[in-house]
Amino acid sequence: MSVSRRRRELSPAAVVGVGALLLAWEVGGRATGNALPPVSDVAGALVSLYASGAMLGPLAGGLTRLGLGFLAAVAVGVPVGAAMGASDAADATLGTYVAVLFVTSVSSLLPFLILLAGTGLGFHVSVVFLFAVFHVALTVRDGVRSVDPGLLRAGRVFGADGATLVRQVLLPASLPFLLAALRVGFVRAVKGVVVAELWIYAGFGSLLRSFQQFSRTDAALAVVVQLMLLAVLGSGLIRAAERRYAGWGAR
Amino acid sequence: MSVRDRLSRLPPTPGEWTLRAGAVLFALVVWQAVAGPAGLLVAPPTAVAAALVEGLVTGGALRGALAGAMVHAVAGYLLAVAVGVPLGAAMGASDRLGAALDPVVDALYATPVVALAPLFIVWFGLSDTGKVALVFAFAVFVVLVNTEAGVSDTPEGLVRAARAYGLSGVGLYRVHLRSALPQVATGLRLGAGRAVRGAVAAELFLFAGDLGQYLIDAGATFQVARLLAGVVALSALGVLALAVVGLFERAVTPPRGT
């Protein structure tokens, strides 16, 4: 978020860098007698996880939990964050709750959430929700706070007030942050999915735990790669939307 | 994040403090009122407070558990700083190195680190090394990314002036680092928070030491007050870690408006 001048486009240097690291991984893996499985083995394991269908169930289940939890986090986090940004009173009250819960380790709440929600869909969705919602709220809050007061004054001069001012000035001006909030929230939500599933040995978590039992590090790494792709693809899509719709934002 | 940091340095007004205190009080009262009828599952704040005192002061079970986990947090954090700062600085100072490694760092930064826990069990067994490694993986990227951003934002003129005075290599690196210090410090602060979370994750997802056992047992035996006391103490510890590193951050950050 605070990362300003980082390069995002796929440059030749990036291709070389990624290629060199993959090569080092491959060579390193073979040299150490497969203590670290070489990248070709991991790619093979990923393909066979798909071919055998073992990945499909966890992927479908994980995406459902991800989608529900993420949507809930956006539905709550965006209005709360917007209120915190727009009003000092909301910032002091709601903001206090958000700040307290933001620093709470969601993982440490897992044994408690199990008691409250059992091990069904509700448990997964609430973990994903808790992982994402505070990041969404705080990013939106920052976005609304950073709107140039001059824009608001200009809007008022032209006769906008109340809802009109929010809809026509405040929202468009905070759009870059709104999309950034979605991106940050999505990455957090993927982490939430994994934490919940690993805790109760469901979905990806049960795959990972069974590969752990049989010391199948190649297959376990393939699952990690799958999760990485999920997070990277999702946030990449949102980033593309940022470029398309909010390219003028100060980023 | 930068905006929030900037705003949070404004001293809050007395009215704001009243609102904040009121919000906390309100939440506690509601919690206490709800906890009675909700029965077993939600312990009232008074019971949680009692469990906190018992765990931290009179009994000390929680205190010992936290201390044990914090050893891993500190060791992993120091390792993350030792790797993240130099690597981030090198990536920030060299456009080519930065461009080459950015996609990898971004991808790893977005990866759910906790998914590595089963692998770490295979690689490190049930050892402290595994826990320290997990904390390291939790903390290193936020340190690295912030250091890189800070260093690559070094004003061009500063670098040119340093070159004109004959600095190169380590000398130039120090110019970059000095200018980047505030953002490096931000990375260090956020990393400290991540390290505490990493230590909790290590207790719950690698294997349970005293802290993991405390949380899991309290949950399994429905001792919700004990369980929530652990959660609250961990949050306080996270805040404390952020605050300690935040002191350093404040010391190296130039005053607003400069």
Q: How many residues does chain A have?
A: 251
Domain-embedded: residue B201: yes
d(CA B77, CA B195): 6
Letter for the amino acid at A195?
A: V
For chain B, the domain total comes to: 1
d(CA B116, CA A178): 30
- Of B99, B113, B118, nearest to A208 by CB-CB distance is B118
Domain-embedded: residue B44: no
Q: What is the pLDDT of residue B38?
A: 61
A251 and chain B: CB distance < 8 Å anywhere?
no
- Of A104, A111, A191, nearest to B216 by CB-CB distance is A111
List, in order of start, the domains of chain A with CATH numbers.
51-240 (1.10.3720.10)
Contact A198 B117 (CB under 8 A): yes
Q: What is the pLDDT of residue B2?
A: 41
Domain-embedded: residue B248: yes
Letter for the amino acid at B61?
A: A
For chain B, what is the mean pLDDT? 87
The domain that contains B177 carries what CATH number?
1.10.3720.10
The pLDDT tens digits for A118-177 are 899 999 999 999 999 999 999 999 888 888 888 888 888 888 877 888 788 887 888 888
Instruction: Give the CA distances from residue A243 to residues A169, A250, B101, B149, B159, in Å, rounded to whole numbers and listed in that order.
Output: 20, 11, 22, 20, 30
The number of CA neighbours under 13 Å toward the Cβ of B86 is 6
The number of CA neighbours under 13 Å toward the Cβ of A198 is 29
Q: Which two tokens stand for residue B198?
A: 């990493």
Q: Nearest CA of chain B to the CA of A12: how many Å?
A: 8
d(CA B72, CA B203): 10
Contact A198 B114 (CB under 8 A): yes
Domain-embedded: residue B7: no
Q: What is the pLDDT of residue B82?
A: 97
Domain-embedded: residue B43: no
- Three-state DSSP class for B257? coil
Burial of A232 (0-12, 13-18, 19+ CB in 10 A): buried
Q: Nearest CA of chain A to the CA of B192: how many Å?
A: 12
Contact A112 B224 (CB under 8 A): yes
Please report, in tens digits, the pLDDT of each residue of chain A (251 residues total): 334 445 555 688 889 999 999 999 999 988 887 678 999 999 999 999 999 999 999 999 999 999 999 999 999 999 999 899 888 889 989 988 998 888 888 999 999 999 888 899 999 999 999 999 999 999 999 888 888 888 888 888 888 877 888 788 887 888 888 999 999 999 999 999 999 999 999 999 999 999 999 989 999 999 999 999 999 999 999 999 888 887 665 44
Q: Which two tokens stand for residue B80?
A: 């993350």
A227 and chain B: CB distance < 8 Å anywhere?
yes
Cβ within 8 Å of B, A 51-80: none
User: Which residue of chain A comes nearest to B182, CA vs CA?
Assistant: A2
Q: What is the pLDDT of residue A251?
A: 43
Q: What is the pLDDT of residue A10?
A: 65
Q: Could you list the beta-strand ranges (E) of chain A.
A: none
Q: What is the pLDDT of residue B12?
A: 66
The pLDDT tens digits for B4-61 are 444 444 566 778 888 889 999 999 998 888 887 666 678 889 889 999 999 998 988 8
Q: Are A209 and A194 in contact (CB under 8 A)?
A: no
State which residues form the domain around B147.
73-252
User: Which residue of chain B comes nearest to A204, CA vs CA?
Assistant: B115
Block means of pLDDT (10 residues each) for chain B, length 258 residues? 45 80 90 75 88 90 92 96 94 89 91 94 92 96 94 86 85 82 91 94 93 91 91 91 86 66
A228 and chain B: CB distance < 8 Å anywhere?
yes
List CB contacts (< 8 A) between A211 and chain B: 118
Q: Are A101 and A160 in contact (CB under 8 A)?
A: no
List CB contacts (< 8 A) between A35 and chain B: 123
The whole-model pTM stands at 0.89
Q: What is the pLDDT of residue A139?
A: 93
Contact A235 B235 (CB under 8 A): no
Q: Which two tokens stand for residue A95?
A: 């903001």
Contact B235 A109 (CB under 8 A): no
Q: What is the pLDDT of residue B130?
A: 95
Domain-embedded: residue B31: no
d(CA A236, CA A229): 10
- Of B27, B104, B231, nearest to A97 by CB-CB distance is B27
Domain-embedded: residue B39: no
Q: What is the pLDDT of residue B9?
A: 46
Q: What is the pLDDT of residue B77?
A: 97
Domain-embedded: residue B136: yes
Q: Which of B10, B102, B203, B242 to mutate to test the interface with A (most CBs of A within 10 A)?
A: B102
